[in-house]
Amino acid sequence: MPPFCFNTPIMLKFWKKKPSESKPDDATEATGAAAQDHPPAALPDAFLDRLSDAAPAVAEPEPVSAEEAPTSEDEQARWNRPLGGSGFARGMASLFGRRPALDDELLDDIETTLISADVGVAATTQVVDDLRRRLGKGEFADAGALFRALRTDLAALLEPVAQPLDIDPAKKPFVILTVGVNGVGKTTTIGKLAKRFSMQGREVMLAAGDTFRAAAVEQLQTWGERNGVPVVSQKEGADSASVIFDALQSARSRRCDLLIADTAGRLHTQAGLMDELSKIRRVMAKLDAETPHEVLMVIDGTTGQNAVNQVRQFREAAGVTGLVVTKLDGSAKGGVVFALAREFGLPIRYVGLGEKADDLRAFVAERFVEAMLPESLAAG
Ligand SMILES: Nc1nc2c(ncn2[C@@H]2O[C@H](COP(=O)(O)OP(=O)(O)OP(=O)(O)O)[C@@H](O)[C@H]2O)c(=O)[nH]1
Ligand SMILES: [Mg+2]
């Protein structure tokens, strides 16, 4: 029996609406905590068929985001804590914290700090050249004024790419294909997204398209169970495109809001991986030419210039439409986000600021820049 899209609030509404149609045993499973204990796939086919009939009676998903709820200070703190320890933030704090003089040496130091924080030569040159020109024109009264200009220039690099992922409710399911090299955080990001979208009241299905690595399916299933989200899988070594095709068929027939597909990060050869991703896209397109609606490439923020090379490689072969930069909380220098923005102009959808389900933030340029270069540093 195929898995199906389901969440507890919808079930409760359905059972309230048509109690006479329910079998007593099923009704017990469908209420409160009991529903959590029984994975959706344990329910009978007859029930599943009625579920899709009941769907129109259910209210539209509410745009509740864990992110919008906290006060703005709370939300900024969720960025500051993980990013404050990055090479970028520490380098800038040590540079401006010692009240530097306003001179060419300060520009040289900024340049060195940016380059060593993975910002890359192109973005660094763009920013430093602008500051040098304005310094020459006498635009800055002191180092604090130059610091504010640096913040503005860096934010301007990010603003065009800080484009949230817009899930079009008319596409049922909206399909996200997740790609990226091994170990970058694809499966973890899918788990975080599953939680995020489920909490918004959307019905989510996952496809275990990484059929290469042992335990990959299990890892995704664990995230699925944790969030009450069904996972379509086949055995290890199955054809990835076929798993994702099955999942798409299933998500369409169940009228899911979202299908998120995992893929392998490594095959026997890199060319093999690119071929597999192209095949997945071709096979999906047979069912719905518009899918995937988003090809989300996940990048490990600790890998610096390597990350830039990876995007270059995947962009063409996989048709990447958006980026997620993970692990910015750990030993990341943090500057690679600027390098990616300058190099590709691809939308940065999310950043990973930890391993837990809630550690994914929709990318907001001002929050990122404030965490890296807090306004308070302008005072020296
Ligand atoms: N600190 C930190 N760790 C993360 C983050 N995202 C993922 N990880 C960790 O990175 C490791 C690899 O994550 P996976 O999700 O398995 O990576 P993957 O891309 O699916 O890897 P493959 O399946 O091998 O291709 C795990 O230990 C995750 O917990 C993050 O934002 N911050
Ligand atoms: Mg994985």
Q: What is the pLDDT of residue 73?
A: 82
> One-letter amino acid identity for 176?
I
The first and second tokens of residue 117, run together, are 């924080």
Q: What is the pLDDT of residue 72?
A: 81
Quick one: pLDDT band at residue 375, thresholds 50, 70, 90? Answer: very high
Q: What is the pLDDT of residue 18?
A: 33
From ligand 1's centre to the CA of 231, what distance in Å?
A: 19
Q: What is the mean pLDDT of residues 170-180?
A: 97
Cα–Cα distances in Å, from 126 out to 111, 136, 181, 336? 10, 16, 29, 15
Residues 93-134 pLDDT 10s: 999 999 999 999 999 999 999 999 999 999 999 999 999 999
The best mutation among 355, 358, 360 to test binding of ligand 1, ranked by most ligand atoms within 8 Å of the C-beta, falls on: 355
pLDDT of 149 higher than 60: yes
Q: Which residues line ligand 1 (CB under 6 A)?
A: 180, 182-188, 210, 213, 216, 265, 298, 326-327, 329-330, 352-355, 359
Q: What is the pLDDT of residue 96?
A: 95
Atom 26 of ligand 1: nearest residue by CA position = 185
Quick one: pLDDT band at residue 290, thresholds 50, 70, 90? Answer: very high
Q: What is the pLDDT of residue 67?
A: 53
270-287 and 240-253 helices, crossing angle to 10° = 30
Q: What is the pLDDT of residue 271?
A: 83
Atom 6 of ligand 1: nearest residue by CA position = 185
Residue 323 phi/psi, 5-degree rounding, is -120, 150
Contact 266, 191 (CB under 8 A): no
Residues with CB under 5 A from ligand 2 (ion): 186-187
Quick one: pLDDT band at residue 379, thresholds 50, 70, 90? Answer: confident
Q: What is the pLDDT of residue 69?
A: 56
Quick one: pLDDT band at residue 268, thresholds 50, 70, 90? Answer: confident
> One-letter amino acid identity for 80?
N
CA–CA distance, 55 with 170 (Å, rounded to integer): 15
**Ligand approaching nearest to the C-alpha of 351:** 1
On the 0-12 / 13-18 / 19+ scale of CB atoms within 10 A, 339 is buried
Query: First and final CA of the chain: distance in angstroms?
Result: 64
Asked whether the whole model's pTM tops 0.75, one would answer: yes
Please give the DSSP secondary-structure letter assigned to residue 236: T
pLDDT of 91 higher than 70: yes
pLDDT-above-90 percentage for the chain: 74
Atom of ligand 1 nearest to the CA of 184: 19
Dihedral sign of CA atoms 4, 7, 13, 18 in order? positive
Mean pLDDT of the chain: 84
pLDDT of 228 higher than 80: yes
The set of residues, in sequence order, having a beta carbon less than 8 Å from that of 152 and lying 6+ positions away, is none
The set of residues, in sequence order, having a beta carbon less than 8 Å from that of 245 and lying 6+ positions away, is 283, 284, 286, 287
Q: What is the pLDDT of residue 213?
A: 84
From ligand 1's centre to the CA of 4, what distance in Å?
A: 27
CA–CA distance, 294 with 349 (Å, rounded to integer): 11
Please give the DSSP secondary-structure letter assigned to residue 201: T
The per-residue DSSP string of 269-335 comes to SHHHHHHHHHHHHHHHHHH-TT--SEEEEEEEGGGTHHHHHHHHHHIIIII--EEEEE-TTTT--ST
**Ligand approaching nearest to the C-alpha of 303:** 1
Q: Which residue has the tokens 């409760």?
A: 12
